[in-house]
Amino acid sequence: MYPTLLSSATIGKYALSNKVVMSPTMTKRRTPGGIPNDAMVEYYSQRAGAGLIIAEGSGPSENGMGHAHMPGIYSKEQIAGWKRVTNAVHAKDGRIFLQLMHTGRISHPANMPAKTEVLAPSAIMAKGEIWTDTHGWQPHPTPRAMTTKEVEQMVKQYVKAATQAIAAGFDGVELHAANGYLMDQFLHPSVNKRTDKYGGSISNRVRFILEVVAAVSDAIGRDKTGIRLSPYSQVNDLQYHSEIDATYEYLADALDIYSLSYIHLVDGLGGEPEIPAMLLAGIRARFRGMLILNGNFDAVRAEHTVQSGLADLVAFDNPCTTAPGVMKEEGKMESCFN
């Protein structure tokens, strides 16, 4: 019924059984202490029928753990927990990448390990609230602006996290540079007011992302490194600005040089503004790697999208729009992810 969507594909050096991607947001943050547990082993192994699983955003360092119950990938216990997950997925011939997500200013001390602090490109508080187990909903705190040296050290923390993800058995990593988290915060002039080499011009605001891309892809391999972007997202208090298109065209050109495994592009998800057709086509033309589109897809639209060549793979973010039968395994699962 969906011959193109359900046909095989290749990402990096890996063969995928179909062109369906399980989005990293298709999870429930069920890791008290940040350590993957039995529930996650079962959850991900049940979904190994997707062509590619992108596991949920995980903190590359202790000060990146801004959400309650989010997992990490910086401790021995976390690595061991994730190893059980990847073993279970691989036992069913699945492929799984880990999304590395530092929350930046979208955080709260109540959600973070002791002796850490909320860091961001600049000391600008995000509007809105964040859930904490101990105090319920709380306003985002004002973060401390990172020093230039701390930004440079953060690049090394991403590299360490990526190498530990590979040690935990992941097939690769996805760098989360979207949805208003740390990497994305550097891109936005309303959030990034820096006057050093990481602020001001487009090339400076993109610099941190490209340094992480270069260092991580060098450490684990370009074929094992992907990135998530959301050009027109306004979540987590992102503001529209006049240089959005120019920023992402510049970024797509730069990412193509590194020959990354893929760009995972968020387009109009959950009522967010859609990416203008000209920008979407521009990114597609500039980046010669695999393009994953994520944006309120159902099976029919996904089939048309991959047939037309607009995207190579489609990520499903809503459990009940998944192609009927795609995620079924021996009749044990419903046609949605949950």
Site of tokens 């995928």: 16
Task: Please say whether the beta carbons of 309 and 280 come within 8 A.
Answer: no
Task: Please say whether the beta carbons of 192 and 238 come within 8 A.
Answer: no
**pTM for this predicted structure:** 0.93
pLDDT of 32:
78
pLDDT of 129:
97
Question: At residue 26, does pLDDT exceed 80?
Answer: no
Name the band, by pLDDT with cuts 50, 70 and 90, for residue 84: very high
Q: Using one digit for the tens of pLDDT, what is the confidence trace for 162-190?
A: 999 999 999 999 999 999 999 999 999 99
Mean pLDDT of all residues in 252-259: 96
DSSP state of 92: T
| Gyration radius (Cα) of the chain, Å | 19
pLDDT of 33:
83
Mean pLDDT of all residues in 229-251: 96
pLDDT of 136:
96
Question: At residue 103, does pLDDT exceed 60?
Answer: yes
Which residues, in sequence order, are CB contacts of 9 under 8 Å at separation 6+? 15, 16, 18, 19, 51, 290, 312, 313
Kindly state the helix (H) or strand (E) to which residue 220 belongs, with its residue range. helix 202-220
Cα torsion 326, 329, 333, 338 to 10°: value is -60
Mean pLDDT of all residues in 123-146: 97
Tell me if residue 43 is catalytic: no
Tell me the average pLDDT of the chain: 92
Task: Please say whether the beta carbons of 262 and 284 come within 8 A.
Answer: no
pLDDT of 335:
30
Mean pLDDT of all residues in 223-235: 96
Q: Using one digit for the tens of pLDDT, what is the confidence trace for 271-283?
A: 889 999 999 999 9
Domains in the chain, CATH or no CATH each: 9-321 (3.20.20.70)
Q: Using one digit for the tens of pLDDT, what is the confidence trace for 289-323?
A: 999 999 989 999 999 999 999 999 999 976 544 43
Greater confidence, 268 or 325? 268
Mean pLDDT of all residues in 147-152: 98
Question: At residue 193, does pLDDT exceed 90?
Answer: yes
The CA distances from residue 67 to 34, 59, 79, in Å, are: 10, 9, 19
pLDDT of 233:
94
Kindly state the helix (H) or strand (E) to which residue 130 belongs, with its residue range. strand 129-132
Which residues, in sequence order, are CB contacts of 58 under 8 Å at separation 6+? 70, 71, 72, 73, 78, 82, 98, 99, 100, 101, 161, 165
Backbone angles phi, psi at 11, to 5 degrees: -130, 120
Question: At residue 47, does pLDDT exceed 50?
Answer: yes
Q: Using one digit for the tens of pLDDT, what is the confidence trace for 49-80?
A: 999 999 999 999 999 999 999 999 999 999 99
Kindly state the helix (H) or strand (E) to which residue 201 belongs, with its residue range. none
Name the band, by pLDDT with cuts 50, 70 and 90, for residue 5: very high
Which residue among the candidates 43, 181, 198, 262 is catalytic per the annotation?
181
Greater confidence, 324 or 305? 305
pLDDT of 332:
29
- Residue positions counted in the chain: 338
Which residues, in sequence order, are CB contacts of 205 under 8 Å at separation 6+? 186, 187, 188, 189, 192, 198, 199, 247
Cα torsion 279, 10, 217, 163 to 10°: value is 130
pLDDT of 336:
30
Name the band, by pLDDT with cuts 50, 70 and 90, for residue 268: confident
